[in-house]
Amino acid sequence: MSDKKNWPLWEVFVRSKNGLEHRHCGSLHAADEDMALENARDVYTRRSEGVSIWVVESKHITASNPEHNGELFDPAHDKVYRHPTFYDLPDEVKHM
Amino acid sequence: MKNENLYNYILGIADNSLILGQRMGELCGHGPSLETDIACTNISLDLFGQVRSYFQYAGKIAGDGRTEDDIAMLRKEREYKNVLLVEQPNTNFAYSIGRQFLFDVYHLAFLEQLQKSTDLTLSAIANKCIKEVSYHERFSSDWVKRFGDGTEESKAKMQEAINDLWTYTDELFHQTEADKAMVAEGIGVDVTKLKEAYYKNVGELLEESTLEIPESKWFQKGGKNGVHTEHLGYLLSDLQYMQRAYPNMEW
């Protein structure tokens, strides 16, 4: 019974307008994917924040371990040449 | 008043949304979960938004300076024209959902027809409201299905709510004098024509939810003519408190 009282957690991704990517905006509880979508609509798009919603149950997300941050992320810090900052972007290219 | 029938007709439509909006708003902070709490208050705000459009129009028709707030807040119980269904209390969440569902199915069919009104303001309001109400109907029917097809307890509670509220459904299809006059002018919706499809749609959803369609053939009526159940007075005392305690206050 207890698992019926505690709905699983879902992560919500909202695309704010066409052409942009879905962005994580928060989480919520719902009994299944249909309810998760409706809840996401009511909780996260009530002020016209979006044109599309994705939901995924949180348990399906695999996260990196913070203890491994050193070996995962630090080596990138001194490799500035990997950033595409040495090009001039035309004004027409938005959202880079 | 020159256009008294039109004025009364608009109030008949708007009062349903006003009273149901107040009922759903009562759940603010009391919903069964944070997510459903927000969903219910969203529905409430949708309905209040619709009410504003209707009352602003009604105020213009009255032409004596009365505002949307005057119409919403300063009438007496007998002057409210909402159906009895929408004033029924939030006995438990199954009742709130059952009330919403039984009204939404009607509301959606009603707005579909009101879009065709020869009164351009009313058809424009209907056009705007119908998207909101389509979502309400989806939300409430989903929950009826969840409860009906859920646990033994949820099914029993949903069935009890439907059985109790059933007696208020027939009134949705009664015509007032204002209704008849407005139908004759091509402005109003002939609600008697919505009845058959309503009971068919509601019946199908109840069957899908493994719930029984109540057999009762005895129905309550009176709300449309201002004769209400005892619940409306308490609701209005909440709704009107600020305007009664601090006359003419503005937000």
Domain that holds residue B218: 4-245
Bridge partners of A23? A14
Where chain B has pLDDT below 70, the residues are none
ipTM of the complex: 0.78
Report the C-alpha gap between A8 and B54 in whole angstroms. 41
How sure is the predictor about A88, in pLDDT bands with cuts at 50, 70 and 90? confident
CATH code, domain with B221 = 1.20.1260.10
* Exposure string over A33-44, b if 16+ CB within 10 A, otherwise e: eebbbbbbbbbb
**What tokens were used for B140?**
């409430």
- 3-state secondary structure at position A19: coil
pLDDT of residue A59: 95
The 3 state secondary structure assigned to chain A is CHHHHCCCEEEEEEECCCCCCCEEEEEEECCCHHHHHHHHHHHHCCCCCCCEEEEEEHHHCCCCCHHHHHHHHHHHCCCHHHCCCCCCCCCCCCCC
pLDDT of residue A60: 96
How sure is the predictor about A1, in pLDDT bands with cuts at 50, 70 and 90? very low
Amino acid in position B13:
I
Subunit contact A28:B35, Cβ cutoff 8 A: yes
CA distance B143 to chain A (A): 9
Residue B155 DSSP code: H
Residue B251 lies in a domain: no
CATH code, domain with A22 = 3.10.20.520
Subunit contact B35:A46, Cβ cutoff 8 A: no
Which of B33, B35, B141 to mutate to probe the A interface, most A CBs <10 Å?
B35
pTM of the model: 0.89
CB contacts, 8 Å: A4 with chain B = 151
* Closest-CA residue of chain B to A28: B35
pLDDT of residue B6: 97
Residue A8 lies in a domain: yes
Residue A74 lies in a domain: no
Q: Which run of H or E residues covers position A11?
A: strand A9-15
Q: Which residues of B touch A (CB under 8 A)?
A: 33-36, 38-39, 42, 135, 138-139, 142, 146, 151
Overall number of domains in chain B: 1
Q: Are the CB atoms for B24 and B237 separated by under 8 Å?
A: no
Number of inter-chain CB pairs under 8 A, A vs B: 29
Domain that holds residue A39: 2-61
pLDDT of residue A79: 85
**What tokens were used for B197?**
């499809």
pLDDT at A95 over 80: no
Subunit contact B142:A34, Cβ cutoff 8 A: yes
Bridge partners of A52? A15
pLDDT of residue A2: 46
CB contacts, 8 Å: A43 with chain B = 34-35, 38
Overall number of domains in chain A: 1
Residue A90 lies in a domain: no
Residue A29 contacts B, CB cutoff 8 Å:
yes
Residue B31 lies in a domain: yes
Q: Exposed/middle/buried for B152, CB within 10 Å: 0-12, 13-18, 19+? A: exposed
Residue A92 lies in a domain: no
Query: pLDDT higher for A88 or B75?
Result: B75
How sure is the predictor about A44, in pLDDT bands with cuts at 50, 70 and 90? very high
- Whose tokens are 């119980």? That residue is B77
